[in-house]
């Protein structure tokens, strides 16, 4: 097992990464401070892993709540079913919630934990690659609104993150690829050496080589932990983690939540950000092609949906969380391995990218 620390003063917490961790109850138990623990999962993940978590909670007062599976259920209405379960089970302020599942479960349970009785503890047990390398770490929680992705939410850090890499054995291939998009993101924004490593190991990563997967998860979590420790509330550097997300969130919302997976939309969005960076003269056409090929080798889409117009993109991008005082800020690549957030992009270049006039 490897352990990383997210360094946030009194709110610091560990990320444990390894095989078979769900059965190692000593990792979970010290982070449950009251007598009651409520595990929240969905109808796909619970039949696979709920028993392991509940067994690890022996001696606590426990209950479980299952939500329907899918990005389209990442809503305030679904969150309300969590609140109902907590109230029906007389959960008090010392209750700990355990989020067992992918990023959808993790984001919603985190948000419920932030809001229930103005804040209770929660633990992240991510079971998709994407949630292991990104969403379970850093305390961003929330739900979607029909008019915008992740628009209702809160910052609320977990007590710990337990990554059992064995759970990836049951993850569908398409979901694995979606997670690889976020792994590639860390390389593009801040680590050329990691990108080179990914270039060399992409076939093993897609083929689920356990050592390569563990290394990719560890290095990604290291990046995420460093960025979150430096800028917990996204006042600066953390915005770089959104490379491709402004375009990607527009794709997810416009296509109907759940039709494009988050990681797929981010992959196409990162290509659009790279193309925009090329039009700014910062990276070369050959480098854009290299990014496209790396994503393609991870079985990810490299073009936005052909049905989306420039106007569609603009509509959803106008409510992006990086819009400040009415000005859109974009994450672009100053070079491969170095991203920047800027308001100073050429509107004409953006229009070329959105209208696919390259």
Instruction: Give the active site residues.
Output: 118, 140, 182, 224, 234, 238, 242, 245, 249, 262
156, interface contact from ligand NAD, ligand GLY, none, CB < 5-8 Å by kind: none
Residues 6+ away with beta carbon under 8 Å from 324: none
Measured CA distances, 43 to 156, 167, 267 (Å): 25, 15, 27
Cα separation, 32 vs 15, in Å, equals 15
150, interface contact from ligand GLY, ligand NAD, none, CB < 5-8 Å by kind: ligand NAD
Structure tokens at 103: 């990023």
Q: Which residues pair with 40 in a beta bridge?
A: 65, 99
78 binds ligand NAD (CB under 6 A): no
Residue 82 CB neighbours (<10 A)? 22
Residues 6+ away with beta carbon under 8 Å from 11: 157
Integer-rounded Cα Rg, in Å, for the chain is 20
5 binds ligand NAD (CB under 6 A): no
138 binds ligand GLY (CB under 6 A): yes
Nearest CB to ligand NAD, comparing residues 71 and 312: 71
320 binds ligand NAD (CB under 6 A): no
131 binds ligand NAD (CB under 6 A): yes
238 binds ligand NAD (CB under 6 A): no
Interface segment toward ligand GLY; rule CB under 6 A; list 75-83, 96-104, 115-123, 237-245:
237-245
Nearest CB to ligand NAD, comparing residues 62 and 127: 127
Q: Where are the alpha helices (DSSP H) in the chain?
A: 25-28, 46-56, 76-88, 103-115, 129-130, 173-190, 192-206, 210-230, 245-255, 262-279, 285-297, 310-317, 347-354
134 binds ligand GLY (CB under 6 A): yes
238, interface contact from ligand GLY, ligand NAD, none, CB < 5-8 Å by kind: ligand GLY
Structure tokens at 138: 């850093």
Cα separation, 256 vs 313, in Å, equals 13
Site string for ligand NAD, 247-276 (x = CB under 6 A): ---------------xx-------------
Q: Which residues bind ligand GLY (CB under 6 A)?
A: 134, 138, 140, 238, 241-242
> Residues in the site for ligand NAD, rule: CB under 6 A?
42, 44-45, 48, 69, 71, 74, 101-105, 107, 127-128, 130-131, 134-135, 138, 140, 150, 167, 170-171, 175, 178, 262-263
């Amino acid at each position: 097992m490897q352990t990383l620390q997210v360094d946030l003063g009194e709110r610091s917490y560990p990320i444990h990464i390894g095989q078979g961790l769900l059965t190692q109850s000593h990792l979970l138990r010290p982070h449950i401070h009251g007598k009651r623990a409520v595990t929240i999962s969905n109808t796909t993940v619970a039949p696979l892993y709920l028993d392991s978590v509940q067994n690890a909670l022996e001696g606590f007062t426990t209950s479980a709540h299952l939500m329907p599976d899918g990005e389209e259920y990442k809503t305030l209405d679904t969150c309300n079913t969590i609140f109902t379960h907590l109230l029906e089970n007389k959960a008090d302020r010392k209750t700990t919630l355990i989020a067992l599942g992918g990023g959808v479960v993790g984001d919603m349970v985190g948000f419920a934990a932030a809001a229930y009785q103005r804040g209770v503890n929660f633990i992240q047990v991510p079971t998709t690659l994407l949630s292991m390398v990104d969403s379970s770490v850093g305390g961003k929680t929330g739900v979607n609104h029909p008019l915008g992705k992740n628009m209702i939410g809160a910052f609320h850090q977990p007590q710990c993150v337990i990554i059992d890499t064995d759970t990836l054995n049951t993850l569908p291939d398409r979901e694995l690829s979606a997670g690889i998009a976020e792994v590639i993101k860390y390389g593009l924004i801040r680590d050329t050496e990691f990108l080179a490593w990914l270039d060399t190991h992409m076939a093993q990563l897609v083929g689920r080589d356990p050592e390569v997967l563990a290394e990719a998860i560890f290095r990604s979590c290291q990046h995420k932990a460093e960025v979150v420790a430096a800028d917990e509330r996204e006042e600066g550097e953390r915005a770089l983690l959104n490379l491709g997300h402004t375009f990607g969130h527009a794709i997810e919302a416009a296509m109907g939540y759940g039709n494009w997976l988050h990681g797929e939309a981010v992959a196409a969005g990162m290509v659009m950000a790279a193309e925009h960076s090329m039009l700014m003269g910062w990276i070369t056409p050959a480098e854009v092609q290299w990014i496209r090929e790396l994503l393609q080798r991870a079985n990810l889409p490299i073009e936005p949906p052909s049905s989306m117009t420039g106007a569609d993109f603009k509509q959803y991008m106008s409510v992006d969380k990086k819009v400040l005082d009415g000005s859109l800020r974009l994450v672009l690549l100053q070079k491969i391995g170095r991203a920047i957030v800027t308001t100073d992009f050429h509107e004409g270049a953006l229009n070329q990218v959105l209208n696919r006039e390259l």
